[in-house]
Copies of this chain bind each other. A is one copy, B any other.
Amino acid sequence: MSETPADKNQPTNESTNIVWHDGEVTRGDRASVLGHQGCTLWLTGLSGSGKSTVGVALEQVLNARGVLSYRLDGDNVRHGLNANLGFGADDRKENIRRIGEVAKLFADAGVVTISSFISPYQADRDQVRKIHEDAGLKFLEVFINTPIEICEQRDPKGLYKKARAGEIKGFTGIDDPYELPTNPEIEVKTGELSIEQCANQLVDALLKHGILKAL
Protein backbone atom coordinates (compact mmCIF):
# COMPACT_ATOMS: atom_id res chain seq x y z
CA MET A 1 0.00 0.00 0.00
CA SER A 2 1.82 3.06 -1.24
CA GLU A 3 1.40 6.31 0.62
CA THR A 4 2.93 8.65 -1.94
CA PRO A 5 4.36 6.66 -4.79
CA ALA A 6 6.88 8.64 -6.76
CA ASP A 7 5.76 6.89 -9.89
CA LYS A 8 2.16 5.76 -10.10
CA ASN A 9 3.11 2.96 -12.44
CA GLN A 10 5.62 1.51 -10.05
CA PRO A 11 3.76 1.97 -6.82
CA THR A 12 5.65 0.04 -4.33
CA ASN A 13 8.81 -0.70 -2.46
CA GLU A 14 7.61 1.81 0.08
CA SER A 15 4.62 -0.37 0.82
CA THR A 16 6.64 -2.66 3.04
CA ASN A 17 7.51 0.27 5.27
CA ILE A 18 3.97 1.00 6.31
CA VAL A 19 3.15 0.33 9.92
CA TRP A 20 0.42 -2.26 9.82
CA HIS A 21 -2.49 -2.26 12.28
CA ASP A 22 -1.49 1.07 13.73
CA GLY A 23 -4.10 3.30 15.29
CA GLU A 24 -7.04 0.95 15.66
CA VAL A 25 -10.23 2.51 16.93
CA THR A 26 -10.48 1.71 20.62
CA ARG A 27 -13.30 0.69 22.87
CA GLY A 28 -13.18 4.19 24.32
CA ASP A 29 -13.52 5.72 20.86
CA ARG A 30 -16.66 3.69 20.29
CA ALA A 31 -18.02 4.64 23.72
CA SER A 32 -17.53 8.30 22.76
CA VAL A 33 -19.64 7.80 19.66
CA LEU A 34 -22.36 6.00 21.61
CA GLY A 35 -22.34 7.96 24.85
CA HIS A 36 -22.26 4.78 26.94
CA GLN A 37 -20.14 1.72 27.63
CA GLY A 38 -20.75 -1.77 26.35
CA CYS A 39 -21.41 -4.71 28.66
CA THR A 40 -23.16 -8.04 28.84
CA LEU A 41 -26.27 -8.59 30.91
CA TRP A 42 -26.51 -12.35 31.17
CA LEU A 43 -30.10 -13.27 31.98
CA THR A 44 -30.37 -16.80 33.36
CA GLY A 45 -33.43 -18.60 34.69
CA LEU A 46 -35.96 -21.34 34.08
CA SER A 47 -38.09 -21.64 30.99
CA GLY A 48 -41.04 -19.30 31.52
CA SER A 49 -39.22 -17.28 34.18
CA GLY A 50 -39.55 -14.12 32.11
CA LYS A 51 -36.06 -13.70 30.65
CA SER A 52 -37.27 -12.66 27.21
CA THR A 53 -40.06 -10.48 28.54
CA VAL A 54 -37.71 -8.62 30.86
CA GLY A 55 -35.13 -8.39 28.06
CA VAL A 56 -37.63 -6.90 25.64
CA ALA A 57 -38.86 -4.39 28.23
CA LEU A 58 -35.28 -3.43 29.01
CA GLU A 59 -34.36 -2.84 25.38
CA GLN A 60 -37.42 -0.61 25.03
CA VAL A 61 -36.34 1.50 27.98
CA LEU A 62 -32.76 1.64 26.72
CA ASN A 63 -33.78 2.56 23.18
CA ALA A 64 -35.91 5.38 24.55
CA ARG A 65 -32.79 6.62 26.40
CA GLY A 66 -30.75 6.54 23.19
CA VAL A 67 -28.74 3.53 24.30
CA LEU A 68 -27.78 0.86 21.76
CA SER A 69 -28.74 -2.55 23.04
CA TYR A 70 -29.09 -5.91 21.33
CA ARG A 71 -30.70 -9.11 22.49
CA LEU A 72 -29.19 -12.50 21.87
CA ASP A 73 -31.80 -15.21 22.24
CA GLY A 74 -32.88 -18.54 20.85
CA ASP A 75 -34.61 -16.91 17.90
CA ASN A 76 -31.55 -15.24 16.44
CA VAL A 77 -28.88 -17.70 17.59
CA ARG A 78 -30.30 -21.21 17.37
CA HIS A 79 -31.39 -20.75 13.76
CA GLY A 80 -28.12 -19.17 12.70
CA LEU A 81 -24.77 -19.37 14.47
CA ASN A 82 -25.75 -22.44 16.46
CA ALA A 83 -27.96 -24.15 13.91
CA ASN A 84 -25.44 -26.98 13.72
CA LEU A 85 -25.75 -27.79 17.43
CA GLY A 86 -28.16 -30.25 19.02
CA PHE A 87 -29.36 -30.60 22.59
CA GLY A 88 -26.94 -33.17 24.00
CA ALA A 89 -24.69 -32.21 26.90
CA ASP A 90 -21.67 -31.28 24.75
CA ASP A 91 -23.72 -29.26 22.29
CA ARG A 92 -25.54 -27.39 25.07
CA LYS A 93 -22.18 -26.45 26.54
CA GLU A 94 -20.87 -25.36 23.13
CA ASN A 95 -24.10 -23.41 22.58
CA ILE A 96 -23.48 -21.31 25.69
CA ARG A 97 -19.77 -20.98 24.93
CA ARG A 98 -20.42 -19.52 21.48
CA ILE A 99 -23.11 -17.19 22.77
CA GLY A 100 -20.72 -16.02 25.45
CA GLU A 101 -18.03 -15.30 22.87
CA VAL A 102 -20.47 -13.37 20.69
CA ALA A 103 -21.75 -11.43 23.69
CA LYS A 104 -18.15 -10.49 24.45
CA LEU A 105 -17.66 -9.15 20.91
CA PHE A 106 -20.86 -7.11 21.19
CA ALA A 107 -19.83 -5.73 24.57
CA ASP A 108 -16.43 -4.85 23.10
CA ALA A 109 -18.21 -3.05 20.28
CA GLY A 110 -19.97 -0.87 22.87
CA VAL A 111 -23.38 -2.49 22.82
CA VAL A 112 -25.43 -3.16 25.94
CA THR A 113 -25.85 -6.85 25.19
CA ILE A 114 -28.81 -8.70 26.65
CA SER A 115 -28.36 -12.45 26.57
CA SER A 116 -31.45 -14.50 27.24
CA PHE A 117 -30.86 -18.23 27.69
CA ILE A 118 -31.70 -20.69 30.45
CA SER A 119 -27.95 -21.43 30.83
CA PRO A 120 -28.53 -23.77 33.78
CA TYR A 121 -24.92 -24.54 34.73
CA GLN A 122 -22.81 -22.30 36.92
CA ALA A 123 -19.56 -23.50 35.33
CA ASP A 124 -20.74 -22.38 31.90
CA ARG A 125 -21.87 -19.00 33.22
CA ASP A 126 -18.59 -18.58 35.09
CA GLN A 127 -16.64 -19.28 31.93
CA VAL A 128 -18.55 -16.58 30.06
CA ARG A 129 -17.88 -14.21 32.95
CA LYS A 130 -14.19 -15.05 32.81
CA ILE A 131 -13.71 -14.24 29.13
CA HIS A 132 -15.42 -10.88 29.69
CA GLU A 133 -13.45 -9.96 32.78
CA ASP A 134 -10.17 -11.11 31.21
CA ALA A 135 -10.91 -8.64 28.42
CA GLY A 136 -11.75 -5.84 30.85
CA LEU A 137 -15.45 -5.99 30.03
CA LYS A 138 -18.33 -5.77 32.48
CA PHE A 139 -20.39 -8.94 32.87
CA LEU A 140 -23.54 -8.74 34.95
CA GLU A 141 -25.19 -12.04 35.81
CA VAL A 142 -28.92 -11.48 36.15
CA PHE A 143 -30.82 -14.23 37.92
CA ILE A 144 -34.43 -14.16 36.77
CA ASN A 145 -35.67 -15.73 39.96
CA THR A 146 -39.18 -16.97 39.39
CA PRO A 147 -40.47 -20.00 41.32
CA ILE A 148 -40.94 -23.02 39.10
CA GLU A 149 -44.60 -23.18 40.10
CA ILE A 150 -45.18 -19.80 38.48
CA CYS A 151 -43.09 -20.73 35.43
CA GLU A 152 -45.08 -23.92 35.01
CA GLN A 153 -48.38 -22.07 35.42
CA ARG A 154 -47.35 -19.59 32.73
CA ASP A 155 -45.92 -22.30 30.46
CA PRO A 156 -45.98 -19.92 27.48
CA LYS A 157 -44.72 -22.53 25.03
CA GLY A 158 -46.49 -25.56 26.55
CA LEU A 159 -43.12 -27.10 27.33
CA TYR A 160 -43.73 -27.95 30.99
CA LYS A 161 -46.86 -29.83 29.99
CA LYS A 162 -44.87 -31.85 27.49
CA ALA A 163 -42.06 -32.44 29.98
CA ARG A 164 -44.53 -33.64 32.64
CA ALA A 165 -46.07 -35.95 30.04
CA GLY A 166 -42.61 -37.33 29.28
CA GLU A 167 -42.68 -36.02 25.72
CA ILE A 168 -39.58 -33.88 26.36
CA LYS A 169 -36.63 -35.42 28.18
CA GLY A 170 -33.94 -33.53 30.06
CA PHE A 171 -36.09 -30.45 30.67
CA THR A 172 -34.49 -27.97 33.04
CA GLY A 173 -36.26 -27.92 36.40
CA ILE A 174 -38.17 -31.14 35.74
CA ASP A 175 -35.67 -33.88 34.96
CA ASP A 176 -32.54 -31.79 34.47
CA PRO A 177 -30.98 -29.50 37.06
CA TYR A 178 -30.99 -25.72 37.19
CA GLU A 179 -27.99 -24.62 39.23
CA LEU A 180 -28.88 -21.51 41.18
CA PRO A 181 -26.54 -18.58 40.54
CA THR A 182 -24.16 -18.44 43.46
CA ASN A 183 -23.37 -14.75 43.30
CA PRO A 184 -25.38 -12.91 40.65
CA GLU A 185 -24.99 -9.15 40.37
CA ILE A 186 -28.75 -8.77 40.07
CA GLU A 187 -31.74 -10.84 41.13
CA VAL A 188 -35.08 -10.10 39.48
CA LYS A 189 -38.31 -11.48 40.90
CA THR A 190 -40.81 -11.39 38.08
CA GLY A 191 -43.45 -13.04 40.25
CA GLU A 192 -43.44 -10.08 42.61
CA LEU A 193 -42.68 -7.06 40.44
CA SER A 194 -44.21 -5.60 37.29
CA ILE A 195 -42.32 -5.83 34.02
CA GLU A 196 -41.57 -2.12 34.22
CA GLN A 197 -40.16 -2.51 37.71
CA CYS A 198 -37.96 -5.38 36.56
CA ALA A 199 -36.64 -3.39 33.61
CA ASN A 200 -35.96 -0.39 35.79
CA GLN A 201 -34.09 -2.56 38.25
CA LEU A 202 -31.71 -3.44 35.41
CA VAL A 203 -31.36 0.17 34.29
CA ASP A 204 -30.44 1.08 37.87
CA ALA A 205 -27.78 -1.64 37.83
CA LEU A 206 -26.36 -0.30 34.55
CA LEU A 207 -26.13 3.16 36.13
CA LYS A 208 -24.55 1.79 39.30
CA HIS A 209 -21.93 -0.12 37.32
CA GLY A 210 -21.03 2.93 35.24
CA ILE A 211 -22.29 1.55 31.93
CA LEU A 212 -24.83 4.33 31.49
CA LYS A 213 -24.72 7.92 32.59
CA ALA A 214 -27.63 9.44 34.50
CA LEU A 215 -29.99 11.45 32.30
Contacts and interface: CB of A to CB of B under 8 A. Distances in A.
Interface of A: 1-4, 8, 11-13, 15-16, 18, 20-25, 29-30, 33-34, 50, 52-54, 56, 59-60, 62-63, 66-72, 76, 80-81, 84, 94, 98, 101-102, 104-106, 108-111, 131, 146, 150, 153-156, 190-192, 194-195, 198
Contacts of A2: 191-192, 194
Nearest to A13: B153
A105 B76 contact: yes
A195 to B, nearest CB: 6
Given A33-B63, A81-B98, 19 more contacts: A12-B150, A15-B191, A16-B156, A18-B53, A20-B156, A21-B52, A21-B53, A23-B60, A29-B63, A30-B68, A34-B68, A68-B68, A68-B109, A70-B105, A80-B104, A80-B105, A98-B98, A102-B105, A105-B106
A22 to B, nearest CB: 7
A198 to B, nearest CB: 7
A153 B98 CA distance: 37
A104 B25 CA distance: 21
Given A24-B56, A111-B109, A190 B1 contact: yes
Counted per complex, copies of this chain come to 2
Contacts of A102: 81, 102, 105
Contacts of A150: 12, 15
Given A8-B192, A153-B15, A194-B3, A33 B80 contact: no
Contact of A80 (B34, B101, B109): B101
A35 to B, nearest CB: 10
A142 to B, nearest CB: 15
A67 B150 CA distance: 44
